[in-house]
Amino acid sequence: MPNPTVWNVVLDAGADTDIVLAADFPVTGRNEGGFADLAPGLNLDCALWQTVAPVRDPGTDALGDAYLEPWLSEVAASGRKVRAVMGYCAGSVFAGVLAEKIAAQQGTAPRVIVFDPELVDVPTVHLQFGRVIGNMTTVLTAEEIDELSGTAERLVAKSGIAPAEFAAGLYAAFRPIGSAALRRAGLDEDYAGELVALVGSFMSYLATAAGLDPRPGWQRATVITSASERSGLNRMRATPGIAPIEVGDEQRFEAEHRDLLRTPEVTATVAGVLAARPGADA
Amino acid sequence: MSNDLPAGHVRPPRKESTLWLLDELVPDSGANNLSLAIRVRGRLDAAATAKAVQLLVERFEVLRTVYHRDEAGLIKSVPATMAAGLEEAEHHGGEEDELAALTAFVARPFTTDGSPLVRALLLHGKDGDVFCLALHHAVSDVQSTAILRAGFVSLYEAVAAGEPPVLAEVPAWHGPETSEESRQYWREKMAGFRSSGLELWCEQREQAVTTLRGDEVTHVLSPEAHEVVRRLQRELRAPESVVLLTAYAVLLAAHGAGPDLTIGSPVNTRPREAVDTVGYHSNLVTLRLLLEQNASFRDLTALTRRTFMEAMAHMDVPADDVLDMVERDGTGWRNTLFKHVFNYVPFVEDQRTFSVAGTEAELVVVENGFSQFDLEFFVSASRETATVRAVFYTGVLDRADVELMVRRYDALLVAAGAALDAPLASLPVWSPQDHAVIDPANATDRAIALPTVLAGFARRAAANPTAPAVRDGDSTATYGTLWSAAADTAARLTAAGVRRGDVVALLLPRGAALAASVFGTWLAGAAYLPLDPNHPAERLAYQLEDAGARAVITGAGTEAPAGYATVPAADWENVPEALVDVAAAEAAGADDLAYVIYTSGSTGKPKGIPIKHRSLVNHIVDYADRFGVAGSARPTGWLSTYSFDTSSLELMMPLLHGGHTVVLPDAARTDGDLLAAAVTAHDIGFLQATPTTWRLVAREAGEVVAGRTILTGGEPLPAELADTLLAAGAELWNVYGPTESTIWATAGRMSTDRAGRVDVGSPVANTRVFIADPHGRPLPVGVRGELCVAGVGVASGYHDRPGLTAERFGENAAYGRFHRSGDVACWRPDGRIDLFGRVDRQVKLRGNRIELAEVEAVLLGHPDVEAAAVVVVGDPGADGSLAAFVRVPGRPEAVDELWDHAHRQLPRSVVPHRFIAVDAFPRTGSDKVDYLALAERAARQHGPAIGGGTAQAAGDDLTATVLGLFAELLDRTDLDAGSHFFANGGHSLLAAALAQRIKDITGIRLALTDVFETPTPAALAERLRRLA
């Protein structure tokens, strides 16, 4: 059957149309606009596929290229042309890298559109982990929260720790505490396990992103930047030690980071960028 | 990813995982199971059989293949050893019991839990044993079974002889990669193909649950057809298989598939060097044939041959890969490349009978009991005979339809053989059985002696002038009085300038005065135009002007529009008595117009339909006999508004037979008690009404219909209502007919043992019906098309509307002049007709065929729904959805049960998205439901049907339960069925809690991703229903 398994079909436009890809990790169930919100306004005449993040343990599973391989091979197996690759937040890293690899695969370079693109570093992982814990304050005891944040602090303090190692360490600490807390909160073993694995999956996603260099892809990207200071290029520019990030074109909007994908002006702009596809159809 | 797998474990290729997907989508089906069964006339040694099976598995590596599943998908591996095992069973019956045991064995599903994909059975019968091997398609194919048969026989013989052979293992063979050239071929070949054109006009509505349960029909081709096949091989220089396949294509096309037609054809993909390999080395190639109406059988055979050869040259691309190249239609997952498959099985004598260790043996065909395709023809032919085995999916086709299809295939071959160069469209596809059903139903010739209804009335009036003719309130008009009033009216019309051939409008309510006006108009040589005094003035003015009315007869309380000569209706109670002059009735001739009546379609202005006396009298005479009014002493009820042609039979039937009619008040149409009281008071023997009225009667005074003849027409009769009326003791007739072919064209008496859909009977006297395909060809039994009426009742056309007349009326070589009804219908096997609603109410919503009337019928099946109208809101190709308007006056809260009610009986694509309770439906001028207005209203009321923006009520219990959990977990009170979990404070932990609570309450386990993907109460409830 033609339905992809590592991509989630957000828009289906028939089996032989082009595809626009979108990289995001929406299944944390966060209150942020996602590509499903953006899609209807794009008036695409082709399909829109969104990454399904694989279940991985950042401590034990191979990340890097092995992490990307299923996404790429399923696109290649579809025989369809990728018209553009989009990414949101840390997903922008995957967008930049996937676009380059797909360009090599299919011979033509897809457009790149990224929303508040961020390189993933230790603070990003820390921040995101903090959000995960924040969602669980109702089930974690004060001691458990202290223990987790203490672990995070200790890891951060380790000089030269890489984001992947950090993510793996956080997950290793979280797994037993999270499982116990969720069981205590009344979730059965299955759901508790599923939820814990989801955190691992998210940490793997971040750890993988941290190890990739999206800059070649971003160089020709259209960047959509929100008004949130702690997101995207705004944060990158304010972070000491990060070299200026080169992008093809940047469009700024008076919208918060979390609303970026559900802001009508953004949708209109992106629709325009996608509609103009020089050299896309030979 | 595959490099993560242990050595020897691989992800299976796509064509194998697709097979397993089918097992997953239709759980507990053995749809992918193949069989090899050998019956011996004697006993097989169990130990030797088991040993031979074990050796077989050791020899062929592929037979040891097993599949596992991890979260990333399927994993395939081949253990070095595997214990094959042999099951033993016995049966004591005949071949049927044997086959049942074998089918059950073969149909048992295989699984992806690492267990073997081959199993063996030794079945002991009274007179012999059957050895049966069941295999999953992933490790075998039809060709494999032939190889395994030979392998088993030789191994068994060796083991039995005490010389078990030492065999080299045959490694699994892997076919070559598909070539880019082939892929390109299929991309070009399949460009622009849409599978929605493959539907047959005899298909059933898709079932709510796909079972793939199969059945089969076998037909031995007639000697004539077989002779044609053999002759055409030479004449058309085509292989027998191509001739048979071409006829299959024509057969499918005649049943509605195409003209862009695809047929699947299984091919063996083994190259010469691998002919003896066991495994899944077959493919289903798609044969795409663009059928041209003017092409001949000769042309199509050439095209089929070429298409088949090309497909064979590019068979290395698996069907699943080709599937990616076509656009998907609809929401179903089945059959998007082709729905119909053709298999040619060359007959080789020695393959069927052979010997096992000296004992005579033969092959037994054991089906797995499932059909992946809607229809699959297996045609096997030898020099002497050819047999068609038609396997079909019972969820789509009925056995009766397939039985007819194989016979039509036979007839078609014979017809093609006689007309190789005739256009395909002209080839008759009816089987003798079709003729045997339809021809007698249309054999309605009957001589009608009366020239006009007027002449019949005059004779009765002359014979018995004092008999009552019309009871109107407390007064009664006798035949003599009515004649006198009519003569008086005629005289005054003539004085007002009315001449023979003129049109006279009747603008007065039902009653003796109206009856006198009808006959008076005819006595003046004119035709009447019945007008409804309750209609708006503009509509009346339009009809008067369009019909060119010469005068208007008015009654108590009615007034003619300005500019028309007004003739007051006769004061029948005081009119001077006139002698009945039978000869005066000759003022109206059989070919003169009796009336002009106006109907409005769904669009445009009302159109006038002129009906001749010959047509009217034919039908009234037939009805009076058919419905038992002739010879009944009980009166007829006159209930229908006279501006409907149906009203005339309530007046005229009894007057042709000396009986009388009783005027019933308008209010009785909507007041069951009132109607019941009138029926009892007058002991009315015959009464006609719409289902709406009958529903009221059934509810309020059902017992009143006992022993009376009742007629229902004008709207579909719901099965439940028919059963209620029959149970109450009514003699119930369901009638059908367009005004253009005079009142009712068909009638059917309902029997108490009726079941299922309510039919509309068969044609009345001197009337013929045919069901036409889009090219106007009459269709055989069971095939849906447009109902056309021919015969004496058909009008000459619309008054002054030549364009519309040309569009809606036509000439058929066999049936003569006819009217296209715009109704979808088919012949039933009993010669009666089933109706399926209006042609223009068949819609396609995102590729799914929907008959809105069918959906309405299901809703009407709910005890509280009195009326239902379903409309499409939005663009049917894109964001369209179904909205159902319902009348539930007795219990308004029942509207909340309708989603579940509909969901139980309809496939998901057809369940309305919204249910809207209304007090009344908007109506068009001719009192039909105004669907256009409803669709506009639905669009206006709710905007686009998406979650979030608009408040959605929790339409059912399950949604309400989920909504309650949302409210509780998110601690919100302002949520509705469309509220987004994560936009309202939800996060992953709460999502897990939600899933857990749902599981505790419903017992259904949702994956967390279900909550992420369908984060509203309505969507989650829908997903739960699918998982339930």
CATH number (domain holding residue B576) = 3.40.50.980
Backbone angles phi, psi at B462, to 5 degrees: -70, -35
Q: Which of residues 958-1017 of B touch A (CB under 8 A)?
A: 981-983, 985-993, 995-996, 999, 1005, 1007-1009, 1011-1013, 1015
Bond from prior residue into B606 cis (ω within 30 degrees of 0): no
Q: Is residue A268 within 8 angstroms of chain B, CB to CB? A: no
Q: Which residues 59-98 of A have a C-beta within 8 angstroms of B?
A: 62, 66, 69-70, 77-79
Contacting residues of B for A2, CB less than 8 Å apart: 320, 323-324, 328
Q: Considering the domain boundaries, does residue B890 fall inside one?
A: yes
Interatomic CA distance for residues B367 and B380, integer angstroms: 16
CATH number of B263's domain? 3.30.559.30
Mutate to test the interface with B, among A27, A75, A133, A189 (most CBs of B within 10 A): A27
Q: Indicate whether A258 and A159 sit together in one domain.
A: no
CA distance B1012 to chain A (A): 6
B405 and B534 in a single domain? The answer is no
**What kind and span of H or E run contains B493?**
helix B479-495
Nearest CA in chain A to B194: A14
CA distance A237 to chain B (A): 30
- State both tokens at B1006: 């949702």
Least Cα separation, residue A186 to chain B (angstroms): 8
Q: How far apart are CA B157 and CA B357, in angstroms?
A: 5
Task: Count CB-CB contacts under 10 A for residue A123.
Answer: 13
**Residue type at B880 in one-letter notation:** G
Least confident of A46-50, A135-139, B567-571, B787-791: A135-139
User: Are residues B424 and B320 part of one domain?
Assistant: yes
pTM above 0.95, yes or no: no
Q: Are A110 and A173 found together in one domain?
A: no
Q: Are B187 and A16 inside 8 Å of each other by CB? A: yes
Q: Are residues A127 and A147 in the same domain?
A: yes
Q: Does B3 touch chain A (CB under 8 A)?
A: yes
A240 in the same domain as A106: yes
ipTM metric: 0.72
Smallest CA–CA distance, residue B396 to chain A, in Å, is: 21
User: What integer pLDDT is reported at residue B944 of this predicted model?
Assistant: 31
Query: Closest Cα of chain A to B260: distance in Å?
Result: 18
Q: Do A182 and B989 touch (CB under 8 A)?
A: yes
- Are B1007 and A66 inside 8 Å of each other by CB? no
Domain membership of residue A171 as a residue range: 122-210
Give the integer Cα–Cα distance in Å for B615 and B608: 16
Residue B53 forms part of a structural domain: yes
CA angle A181, A187, A189 (to 5 degrees): 90
B234 inside domain: yes
Say yes or no: B320 contacts chain A, CB-CB below 8 A.
yes
- How confident is the model at residue B951, as a pLDDT? 43
- CB contacts < 8 A, A to B, total 95
Tell me: do A112 and A232 sit in the same domain: yes
Cβ within 8 Å, pair B988-A27:
yes
Q: Is residue A161 part of a domain?
A: yes
pLDDT band at A281 (very low <50, low <70, confident <90, very high): very low
Which residues of chain B lie closer than 8 angstroms to A14, CB-CB? 327-328
- In this predicted structure, what is the pLDDT of residue B875? 65
All residues of chain A having their beta carbon less than 8 Å from the beta carbon of residue B996 are 186-188, 191
Q: Is residue B651 included in any domain, yes or no? A: no
Is B92 part of any domain? yes
pLDDT of A280 > 50? The answer is no
Instruction: Write the single-letter amino acid at B854.
Output: E
Give the torsion sign (CA, B777, B781, B784, B790).
Answer: positive
Task: Please tell me which of the candidates B71, B987, B989 has its beta carbon nearest to residue A55.
Answer: B71
Report the SS3 class of residue B196. Answer: helix
Q: Which of B349, B395, B389 is nearest to B372 (CA)?
A: B395
Residues of chain B where predicted confidence (pLDDT) is lower than 70 = 1-4, 205-209, 328-335, 347-351, 600-604, 844-849, 875-880, 907-909, 924-928, 941-955
Residue A84 and residue A33 in one domain: yes
**What does the pLDDT read at residue B945?**
31
**What local confidence, expressed as pLDDT, does residue B554 receive?**
96
Kindly tell me the sign of the dihedral angle through the C-alpha atoms of B618, B623, B628, B632: negative
Q: How far is B143 from chain A (nearest CA, A)?
A: 24
* A166, A186, A210 - which closes a domain: A210
Q: B933 and B974 share a domain?
A: no
Answer yes or no: do B983 and A31 touch at CB < 8 A. yes
Question: Does the residue A136 lie in any domain?
Answer: yes
Do B413 and B462 sit in the same domain of this protein? no
Q: Do A133 and A203 fall within a single domain?
A: yes
pLDDT at A195: 86
pLDDT for B1025 equals 81
- Asked whether B350 and B179 are in contact (CB, 8 A), the reply is no
Type of residue at B232:
L
Residues A15 and A113 in one domain: yes
Q: Does A4 touch chain B (CB under 8 A)?
A: no
Tell which of B899, B915, B942 closes a domain: B942
Contacts of B71 in chain A (CB under 8 A): 55
Please judge whether A69 and B1 are an interchain contact, meaning their C-beta atoms are less than 8 angstroms apart.
yes
Q: Check whether residue A167 and residue A241 sit in a common domain.
A: no
**Residues whose CB falls within 8 Å of the CB of residue A229, separated by 6 or more in sequence, listed in order:** A235, A238
CA B686 to chain centre: 33
Backbone angles phi, psi at B906, to 5 degrees: -125, 150
CB-CB neighbors (< 8 A) of B3 in chain A: 66
Nearest to B986 among A29, A66, A69 (CB): A29
Name chain B contacts of A27, Cβ cutoff 8 Å: 988, 1008-1009, 1012
Q: In a mutagenesis test of the B interface, which of A8, A16, A78 is the best target, namely the one with the most B β-carbons within 10 Å?
A: A16
CATH code at position A90: 3.40.50.1820
Rounded to the nearest 10°, the torsion over CA B453, B458, B460, B465 is 140
A176-A180-A185-A191 Cα dihedral, nearest 10 degrees: 60
Q: Hey, are the CB atoms on A192 and B992 less than 8 Å from each other?
A: yes
CA distance B897 to chain A (A): 31
In a domain, A173, yes or no: yes
Q: Are residues A42 and A175 in the same domain?
A: no
Here the CATH number for the domain that contains residue B1016 is 1.10.1200.10
* Binary contact (B187, A26; C-beta < 8 A): no
> Which residue in B1, B987, B996 is closest to A29 by CB distance?
B987
In this prediction, residue B876 carries a pLDDT of 63
The answer to whether residue A282 sits within a structural domain is no
A26 and B1012 in contact by Cβ < 8 A?
A: yes
Nearest to B325 among A15, A135, A182 (CB): A15
Query: Are B466 and B479 contacting, i.e. CB atoms less than 8 angstroms apart?
Result: yes
Taking an 8 Å cut-off on Cβ atoms, the answer to whether B327 and A186 are in contact is no
Does residue B864 lie in a domain region?
Answer: yes
Q: Which residues of B touch A197 (CB under 8 A)?
A: none
* Cβ contact, residue pair B71, A191, below 8 Å: no
- Last residue of some domain: A210, A233, A248? A210
Nearest CA in chain B to A68: B1
Q: Touching check for A15 and chain B: CB below 8 Å?
A: yes
Number of structural domains chain A divides into: 2
Alpha carbon separation from B431 to B140, B361, B376, B743, B779 (Å, rounded): 38, 38, 20, 32, 11
Chain A, window 201-230: residues with a beta carbon less than 8 angstroms from a chain B beta carbon: none
Mutate to test the interface with A, among B946, B987, B1011 (most CBs of A within 10 A): B987
> Do residues B538 and B602 share a domain?
yes
CA distance A78 to chain B (A): 7
User: How many structural domains are present in chain B?
Assistant: 5
Q: What angle do CA B287, B293, B294 make, to 5 degrees?
A: 115
Q: Are residues A108 and A162 in the same domain?
A: no
Final residue belonging to a domain, choices A194, A210, A226: A210
The answer for A 114-153 residues in CB contact with B (under 8 A) is: 135-136, 138-139
* Structural domain includes residue B232: yes
Which of A227, A249, A216 minimizes the C-alpha distance to A113?
Answer: A249
Q: Are residues B938 and B961 in the same domain?
A: no
For the domain that residue B934 is a member of, what is the CATH number?
A: 3.30.300.30
Burial class (CB in 10 A: 0-12, 13-18, 19+), B350: exposed
Asked, for residue A280, whether it belongs to a domain, the answer is no
CB A12 within 8 A of CB A47: yes
Residues on chain A touching B982 (C-beta within 8 angstroms) = 29-31
Residues of A in contact with B328 (CB under 8 A): 2, 12, 14-15
Together in a domain, B197 and B118: no
Q: How far apart are CA B1005 and CA B866, in angstroms?
A: 38
**Is A1 inside any structural domain?**
no
The residue among B125, B160, B195 that closes a domain is: B160
Distance from CA of A241 to the nearest CA of B (A): 34
Q: Decide which of B612, B639, B656 is a domain's last residue.
A: B612
Q: Are residues A37 and A167 in the same domain?
A: no
Are B526 and B498 contained in the same domain? yes
Interchain CB distance below 8 Å, A29 and B324:
no
Does B1006 fall in a domain? yes
Tell me, yes or no, whether B216 and B336 share the same domain. Answer: yes
Supply the range of the domain harboring residue B483.
454-612
Supply the DSSP string of B699-713, one letter for each residue. Answer: HHHGGGGTT-EEEE-
| Same domain (yes/no): B487, B593 | yes
CA-nearest of B796, B793, B722 to B763 is B793
Residues B1005 and B963 in one domain: yes
Q: Are residues B69 and B119 in the same domain?
A: yes
